[in-house]
Amino acid sequence: MSTLAASHLRKTLGRRRVPALDDLSFTTTTRRVAVLGPNGAGKTTLFRVLATLADPDGGSFSVADQEVATPGEVEAYRRSLGVLPQSFSALGSYSCAEFLEYVCWLKKVPRPAVAENVDQALRTVDLEDRRDARVRTLSGGMRRRLGLAQTTLGDPDVILMDEPTAGLDPEQRDRFAGVFERASETALVVFTTHISADVVNLAEEVVVLFEGRLRFVGTVGELAACGGGPARDVSSESVDAGYIAVLRGEGHVDRGGA
Ligand SMILES: Nc1ncnc2c1ncn2[C@@H]1O[C@H](COP(=O)(O)OP(=O)(O)OP(=O)(O)O)[C@@H](O)[C@H]1O
């Protein structure tokens, strides 16, 4: 279930001549995949393509060997998808439970299953005691957890998150990590980030993009090893060192897609 394969993805935005995704191919096989890259590398564009919010100009991707290309394939994939965009702003005047019920409706969760889905989602992110609180009264960290909760509705096979921990303090990040871990027990979770601690704490595999192209794909240990240390030395420092080496073109790409 956890194979994600991009094959020759291309996407040019606006009138730019330089593509945001430039013949991007990679394959990952674990349930926790981080997408790294400097500003403008193409992370959000890849996120939008994988979320079917944007069509690629060329190429394709598949999840669990299922192509996501034809309208029928896209529709089936969307039913199995949870998405947390970068700027997640829930409907502020709804209560947390009402907001999650609304997302259930959008995701076509069968009516008899809605209450259980909402309860489960609130439990997953430790927000049961806030079920009747208005979304606008939540702290930034709680709002982010509510954002994560809505991705778990409808039992998704794939969850996509664009910079899910941006702006969280260390305590909130810690709680988020616990929730993330539970979500990744049953779903393939792909997230973009700038934070090396996220890579260490949350990811098994890493895709590094630079100027819309693949710079590296491999395990977190393999990325750390690109910095010159042993692959078993996985820390924020060794991941940063490996990441910098990869951006300088000193790392190597282990696995390309088709
Ligand atoms: N709507 C747009 N029109 C034209 N160019 C765009 C548009 N959105 C993004 N781009 C360009 O496409 C490239 C990839 O952008 P993208 O947002 O995918 O990068 P990113 O890796 O997510 O960056 P960041 O870390 O800053 O969020 C960048 O060069 C960006 O300037």
Ligand 1 centroid – CA 38 distance (Å): 11
Note whether 101 and 127 are same-domain residues: yes
The number of folded domains in the chain is 2
Note whether 199 and 76 are same-domain residues: yes
Last residue of a domain, one of 156, 178, 210: 156
Structure-model confidence comparison of residues 228 and 29, the more confident one: 29
Does the Cβ of 43 fall within 6 Å of ligand 1?
A: yes
Note whether 93 and 144 are same-domain residues: yes
Average pLDDT over every residue of 185-200: 91
The span from the CA of 79 to the CA of 180, in Å, is: 20
Does the Cβ of 16 fall within 6 Å of ligand 1?
A: yes
Note whether 11 and 76 are same-domain residues: yes
Tell me the pLDDT tens digit for each residue of 21-64. 999 999 999 999 999 999 989 999 999 999 999 999 999 999 98
Mean pLDDT of the residues in the chain: 88
